[in-house]
Amino acid sequence: MKNPYVWVVLLMIVSIAAFFVFSKPKEETMTTETKAEDQAAPPEMEISPEKIYTAVFDTTAGSIVIELNAKETPKTVNNFVHLARKGFYNNTVFHRVIKGFMIQGGDPKGTGSGGPGYRIEDEPFTGEYVRGTIAMANTGAPNSAGSQFFIMHQDYDLPKSYVIFGKVKDGMGVVDTIATAETVEDGRENSRPKAPVTVKTVTITEL
């Protein structure tokens, strides 16, 4: 090809194509590391205690719909809603399941040791740990909850140390599936699922 103008045109086309390929912005995703150190302090209040909030868990075993008790436990619900809206719970697993007791999730590490990088204060609540109840998990000390939660598989007598902030409205069959899955020892108990169920997304609705 001897025509210099043709070469110039070809070089311009290649340069333009390269610009669009290499300058395309990368999609922002929350990795395990960024989730675990999400922020240094609990979120500011962004919900209204007078409104009704529902969380829809889209999992690999089906959907779980949970009514959140924003009026009675606004700080706890606010924290959960904040994390859910940021995608914090996306692609996490139910890392601890005990048939007849509960299923636990909300850990970005999937080991039971992860959290959002801060702790929230406990707040007064009512209710019992009955089938379908959702409550915050903690380290065993006061004011030590972060992002992890558990859903009761069956009624269980627990000390009132775990803030109850909602209840399953629909999808208890999915909870049953998760709770009765085969588990293995994790060093202290037989509670680690052989094939953990993944929470793909948590969607919040507000009325």
The three-point CA angle 24-87-111 to 5° equals 115
pLDDT at residue 12, rounded to an integer:
53
Position 13 scores a pLDDT of 47
The DSSP line for 13-63 is HHHHHHHHHHSPPPPP---HHHHHTS-SSPPPP-S-TTS-EEEEEEETTEE
Instruction: Tell how many helices (H) and how many strands (E) occur in the chain.
Output: 4, 11
Is the CATH code 3.40.30.110 the one for domain 32-206?
no
Report phi then psi at 21, rounded to 5.
-70, -50
Average pLDDT across each block of 10 residues of the chain; the chain has 207 residues. List them in order: 49 44 36 56 96 98 98 98 98 98 98 96 98 97 98 98 98 98 93 98 98
Q: Which two tokens stand for residue 22?
A: 């290499």
Q: Which among 65, 69, 34, 75 has a CA at the least distance from the CA of 50? A: 69
* Residue at token pair 């993944």: 198
Q: Are strands 62-68 and 164-170 parallel, antiparallel or unpaired?
A: antiparallel
The residues, ordered by sequence, that sit 6+ positions from 122 with a Cβ below 8 Å of its Cβ are: 142, 143, 145, 163
pTM of the model: 0.83
Kindly give the residue spans of alpha helices, DSSP state H, lying in the chain: 4-22, 32-36, 74-85, 172-179
